[in-house]
Every structure is written in C-alpha cells, then in structure tokens.
Amino acid sequence: MALTSLNLSDCDKITDVGVLAVSGMPALTSLDLSFNEEITDAVQAVSDMPALKSLSLCSSTEITDVGVQAVSGMPALTYLQLNLLDKLTDVGVQAVSGMTALTSLDLSDCEKITDVGVQAVSGMTALTSLQLNLLDKLTDVGRDELVCSSAAVKCARATPRTSCPRVFGRSSSTRL
C-alpha cells in the first residue's frame, strides 16, 4: 500500500532536494511542508502530483508568486494553506483564484496581499472556508467585495478590528 499522507512541517533540514524527492510519490493526497524556510519555488515540482488534495505551505517564507502560480494548476487540490508567505502578492493570489475545486484557502498574515487579491478570491464559488486573518492591507473595499459575494464564500473570517485597522478601526472585536 502506498503512502497517502506526509507531514514534513518544521523539518529544518528539508530543502528543495527533499521537495523534488517527495514529488515522486504519486499516491500522496495530503502534503504538509509548513515552516520549512529552506524550501523555495522548487515547490513547483509538487504541481505534477495528480492525487494531491491537501497542500500546506504555511510559513515557508522563500516561496514566491512563481511557486504559488505553479501550484494553482493542480486540479484536484481542495485545501491550500498559504498563510505566512512573506513573498506572496496579489499576482499569486490571482492565480489561485482560478482553482475551481478549492474549498478551503488560508491567506492569513500574508503581508503583501491587498484588496486586489481579496477581490480575486471573492469570486471562487467552491470555497467554503477562507482565512484572511492579519491582512494589514485589506481595506473596506476588499471587505465589501467579500460581503457582496458572500453567497460564494460561506465562511470568510477576518481578525478582530485591532488587527485590520484600515477596515474596522481599533476598538471593537467584530469579525466579518
């Protein structure tokens, strides 16, 4: 029986070489590469894994829009965790917005994502969970786009008002 789930999160010695090796495991349906600061856009190699449904890249800080764009071409992916990717911008998010099977997306604490990226994902009709915590560049414009498309996104959550001051002000803890 083949391995279907692999968690390599927080393995300090995992590099792009390890990602390339893992990409040769076609039966994997779940892969967690979170908190691996040595992994770069070589994460593109996993985009050829046909069975992969769940991918976590949380805090793999060297991954850029290039790697995310490659991952966005994975038709079976339903769960994608991209939070804490310091180099992810609206360009990468716009690529992700074309993932029609994606039901869960985490973009929390990606400091370069703006209203443009949030507007792009607001049209993802299969999403049932969207995490947008600590998006400091999210404003009322991006929030309003989410609210207007709330039929598509059944669970959109932003952090308390204190974490998104340009959207909510600083005193209340109301969530989207």
Separation of alpha carbons 82 and 105, rounded Å:
8
Going from the C-alpha of 92 to that of each of 68, 118, 119, the distances in angstroms are 6, 11, 13
From 115, 155, 156, select the one nearest 135 (Cα to Cα).
115
The sign of the torsion formed by the CA atoms of 126, 128, 133, 139 equals: positive
Q: Per-residue confidence at 10, pLDDT binned at 50, 70, 90?
A: very high
pTM here? 0.81
Q: What number of CA atoms fall less than 13 Å from residue 169's CA on the CB side? A: 4
Mind listing the pLDDT tens digit for each residue in 120-164? 888 888 888 888 887 777 776 766 666 555 544 444 444 444 444
Q: Are 40 and 70 in contact (CB under 8 A)?
A: no
Q: In degrees, to the nearest 5, what angle opens at C-alpha 83 toward C-alphas 100 and 130?
A: 45
pLDDT score recorded for residue 110: 86
Mind listing the pLDDT tens digit for each residue in 45-88? 999 898 999 999 999 989 999 999 999 999 999 999 999 999 99
- Work out the end-to-end distance of the chain between its first and last CA atoms, rounded to an integer number of angstroms: 44
Domains of the chain: 1-88 (3.80.10.10), 110-176 (no CATH)
